[in-house]
Chain A
Amino acid sequence: MFYREAGDFSTTYPQDSQTFPIRFDRIRYYFVLAIAFLVIPFVVNDYWVSAIFLPFLIYSIAAIGLNILVGYCGQVSLGTGGFMAVGAFACYKLMTAFPEVSMFVHVLLSGAVTAGVGVLFGLPSLRIKGFYLAVATLAAQFFLVWLFNRVPWFYNYSATGQISSPDREVFGILVTGASKPAWAAYLFCLVFVMFSAVVARNLTRGSFGRKWMAIRDMDIAAEIIGVNPLASKLSAFAVSSFFIGISGALFFSVYLGAVEVGEVFGIQKSFLVLFMIIIGGLGSIFGSFAGAAFLVLLPVLLKNVLVGVLGWPTDIEAHFELVIIGGLIITFLIAEPHGIAQLWRVAKEKLRLWPFPH
């Protein structure tokens, strides 16, 4: 009733294969875009941007990236933190080496560098599957963090071993460093989120997506219909790492500003992003957003409700936050193993008819 597709007919194949074949969905999508681009930048303040929008947007990119590898191509990876670190350090080296170049270029190049590293660590995937591949990518995680800790060239021989982001501009507006305006940082990340989501969606609905899903669902059958397993797995690693590299670059340069690699890009980060896509929904772009929102926004919400509204002491709140979120994750996965994206799909199905039973 609320969700109408009656009267929506596709008369051509391009119409049928577009991202939002239903008009209602399309309108909602443009509405969200309009709010995100035209309204939010004018009303946000520092707190909203740094506590809510930046982590949500940046984790969304990482989740989209990992979802391509795990959700679409079925190759389990625990190297996300390491690959984000590659993006961050590539970005740092580029920012310091070419200060006058636009940050857009730096971030995209960091993604490209990470894609290369991802392909390298994706090579074992031809021979190793499932849990064993996860362990192999775990090696990437530890090796990369070790590398960035131990080789001073990566952190420009700074005494602390940290990297910190210098002030860099896009079209004359600062997007990194301490004095950047909040709205600029927000818009900068939003552009990359938009870019990642659109590219990921286009790739997954086309022949690359089908190759990846074929490999995921049954690799032998995929090979028999002409899919080169190594090439497709490596392309999934490349695209996935590209997005993860972008998110790592943004995480370092725009969000945190200064990074100690072991602390920020450790194994916890790999698990966090993996949990995001499991909770959000494997093999779904929307699920990547939903999962990122769940794990980024819920703690903030809980903190505000428990401390702000109910007046709990902050230390008790901090512990209960973990308990509550852990409980919610378990409840969620029991109620809907396919994640929030599936819940959303089911809700849409129901809304097509509601309030009528048939």
Chain B
Amino acid sequence: MLDQADGYLTADGRQIGPVVMEMQNITLRFGGVEAIKDISFDIREGEVRAIIGPNGAGKSSMLNVISGFYVPQEGQVLYKGVPRPQMRPYQVARQGIARTFQNIALFEGMSVLDNVMTGRLTHMKTGMFAQAFWKGRAEKEETENREVAEKIIDFLEIQAIRKTPVSRLPYGLKKRVELARALAAEPELLLLDEPMAGMNVEEKEDMSRFILSMNDEFGTTIALIEHDMGVVMDLSDRVVVMDYGKKIGDGTPDEVRNNQAVIDAYLGVSHD
């Protein structure tokens, strides 16, 4: 197996770095229901890591554990090798982990630009007093962060809708704006919960392109949940497969594709 400190070379020749996030024996229960049962896996720097599985497998719960919404009853989360204490989601965000949601969670009352700028909030530090008079540091900080936000807006090709209120946008664009907001935080780890749900082929292709070039240009580590197998197999470097809260496969897309347990889970074999 791989050494902790090293990494590996992907099929298309990218160097994958050391482990960024490690889940160790995570168990999550809701009352009597075990949503996640003793799962361990890691996410390495610079890779695109997919979590797949049939409906109700516990994928979203897993993402919620990573982003701090759920606190697992057992196991621990290591971020950059350090065990993470129990954290509120906003503290997780400040560590450099951003995410998108399965059902879009944008700020409907604000413009696209303001939504993207909220992604920069973790980088904005000027106090209330400086901002009240909008002089010196406050204005400079706003401009600097605006530049970053605009770079992301350019990157995701949403310049034309910059000032449009989010509530007026169609679904596909909202998904893209949500991605922009997460990306604007310049996260080290980006979690995408079904980035392509409800999209047509063209939009899926766009989104895939963005995900790949995000990974390529900004070096963002990406963990994503997706149901479209074609997309997952094409995009990801390594795949975790979950079923009924258990991990049933982990490896490169090819390994996973030929894994009997995975095939059974997807094709439906009776569980004992």
Q: Is B83 an interface residue (CB 8 A)?
A: no
Distance in angstroms from B159 CB to nearest chain A CB is 13
- Asked if B138 and A206 make an inter-chain contact with CB atoms under 8 angstroms apart, the answer reads yes
Which bucket holds chain A's interface residue count? 20 to 34
Q: Does residue A331 face the partner (Cβ distance < 8 Å to B)?
A: no
Are the C-beta atoms of B122 and A226 separated by less than 8 Å? yes
Which residue of the partner chain, among B106, B109, B126, contacts A207 with CB atoms under 8 Å? B126
Q: Measured between C-beta atoms, what is the minimum distance from A127 to chain B in Å?
A: 14
Chain A residues with Cβ below 8 Å from B108 are 217-218
Stretch from B33-41, B88-96, B195-203 that touches the partner: B88-96
CB <8 Å contact, B142 and A206: yes
Question: Closest CB of chain B to A166's CB: distance in Å?
Answer: 31
Chain B residues within 8 Å of A203, by CB: 128, 131-132
Q: Once bound together, how far apart are the Cα atoms of A195 and B155, in whole Å?
A: 39
A200 to B, closest residue via Cβ: B132
Residue in B69, B93, B134 whose CB lies within 8 Å of A206: B134
- Complexed CA–CA distance, A208 and B122 (Å): 12
15 A-B residue pairs with Cβ-Cβ distance under 8 Å, sorted by A, are A202-B131, A202-B138, A206-B126, A206-B142, A207-B117, A217-B109, A221-B106, A222-B107, A224-B67, A224-B69, A224-B98, A225-B118, A225-B121, A225-B122, A226-B121
Q: Which residues of B contact A (CB under 8 A)?
A: 67, 69, 88-90, 93-94, 98-99, 101, 105-110, 114, 117-122, 124, 126, 128, 131-134, 138-139, 141-143, 146-147, 150, 181-182, 185
* B134 engages A226 (CB within 8 Å): no
Give residues 64-112 of A contacting B (CB, 8 Å).
none
CA A221 to CA B146, docked complex, whole Å: 20
Contact B132 A211 (CB under 8 A): no
Q: How long is the Cα–Cα vector from A208 to B197 in the complex, in angstroms?
A: 33
Asked if B118 and A223 sit within 8 Å, CB to CB, the answer is: no
Contact flag A221-B105 (CB < 8 Å), given A17-B146, A202-B134: yes
Other A-B contacts than A202-B132, A207-B126, 7 sampled, CB-CB below 8 A, are A17-B146, A205-B134, A214-B118, A216-B107, A222-B107, A224-B69, A225-B98
Q: Which of A14, A206, A229, A235 contacts B90 (CB 8 A)?
A: A229
- Contact partners of A218 in chain B: CB under 8 A: 105-108
A218-234 to B contact mask, C-beta < 8 Å, 1/0: 10111111111100000
User: Please, which residues of chain A bring their CB within 8 A of the CB of B69?
Assistant: 224
Interface check A259, CB cutoff 8 A: no
Q: Are B131 and A223 touching (Cβ within 8 A)?
A: no
Contact with B along A31-68 (1 / 0, CB 8 A): 00000000000000000000000000000000000000
